[in-house]
C-alpha cells in the first residue's frame, strides 16, 4: 500500500509530538506538519469546531489535512468547560478549574478528542472521536501541556502529566480518536 501524505495542522508542539508518537508504527501514513493561523472557532461541540477548522485548513493547504480539537468536560457542570477549555485554562489556570468544582460532590470528568480529516477543498469531512473518563484533581506533574496535570483517568492513580508518555499514548482520548483515524485509512 502506498503511503498517504497528510498535513496535520497544529501550532502546538506538544500535541504534534504526541500524535507523531501514536502514529509512529503506521507505515501507510506520512504526517507532515504545518502551522496555519486559523480562526479560533467556538461552538457547542468539538465535532463542529473540528469540521469547520478542517474545511478552512484544506483550503489553505490545497490538499489532505487532519485537524484536532479537544474538550475537557466536567460532569457536574453539564460538560462545561467542554470545547472552551483552552480559554478557561488561560483565564483561571489549573487551580481555578479545580475551584469551579468546589461545592460539588461530583468531580468526574471526561476528555474528548475530535479529529477531522478532509482530502482537500470541497471534499467530505470525516470526524473521529475518542473519549477517556476520569476525574479532576489538584494539579500534579509537569505543568507544560494544557490541563494534563489536573486530569486523572479512571483506573489510574496518576494524572496525564505524571504518566510516562508511552502509557498516556495508549489510553488517552487522543489515542482513542487516532485509533479510529487509522481504521479509516486501513
Residues contributing to the annotated binding site for Mg(2+): 40, 69
Identify the sign of the CA torsion 134, 136, 141, 144. Answer: positive
Would you list which residues are annotated within the binding site? 10-15, 40, 53, 69-70, 145-148, 168, 173-174
Asked if 116 and 53 touch (Cβ cutoff 8 Å), the reply is yes
Cell, residue 166: 508511552
Closest to 49 measured CA to CA, from 87, 96, 95 = 87
Distance CA 174, CA 103 (A): 30
Would you list which residues are annotated within the binding site for ITP? 10-15, 53, 69-70, 145-148, 168, 173-174
Amino acid at each position: 500500500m502506498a503511503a498517504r501524505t497528510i498535513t496535520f495542522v497544529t501550532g502546538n508542539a506538544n500535541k504534534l509530538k504526541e500524535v507523531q508518537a501514536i502514529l509512529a508504527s503506521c507505515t501507510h501514513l506520512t504526517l507532515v506538519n504545518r502551522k496555519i493561523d486559523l480562526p479560533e472557532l467556538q461552538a457547542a461541540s468539538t465535532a463542529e469546531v473540528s469540521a469547520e477548522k478542517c474545511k478552512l485548513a484544506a483550503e489553505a493547504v490545497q490538499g489532505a489535512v487532519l485537524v484536532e480539537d479537544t474538550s475537557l468536560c466536567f460532569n457536574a457542570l453539564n460538560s462545561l468547560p467542554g470545547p472552551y477549555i483552552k480559554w478557561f485554562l488561560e483565564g483561571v489556570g489549573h487551580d481555578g478549574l479545580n475551584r469551579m468544582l468546589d461545592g460539588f460532590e461530583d468531580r468526574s470528568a471526561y476528555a474528548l478528542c475530535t479529529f477531522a480529516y478532509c482530502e482537500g477543498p470541497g471534499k467530505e469531512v470525516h470526524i473521529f472521536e475518542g473519549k477517556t473518563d476520569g476525574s479532576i484533581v489538584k494539579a500534579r506533574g509537569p505543568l507544560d501541556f494544557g490541563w494534563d496535570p489536573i486530569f486523572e483517568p479512571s483506573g489510574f492513580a496518576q494524572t496525564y502529566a505524571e504518566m510516562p508518555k508511552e502509557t498516556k499514548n495508549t489510553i488517552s482520548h487522543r489515542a482513542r480518536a487516532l485509533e479510529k483515524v487509522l481504521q479509516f485509512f486501513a
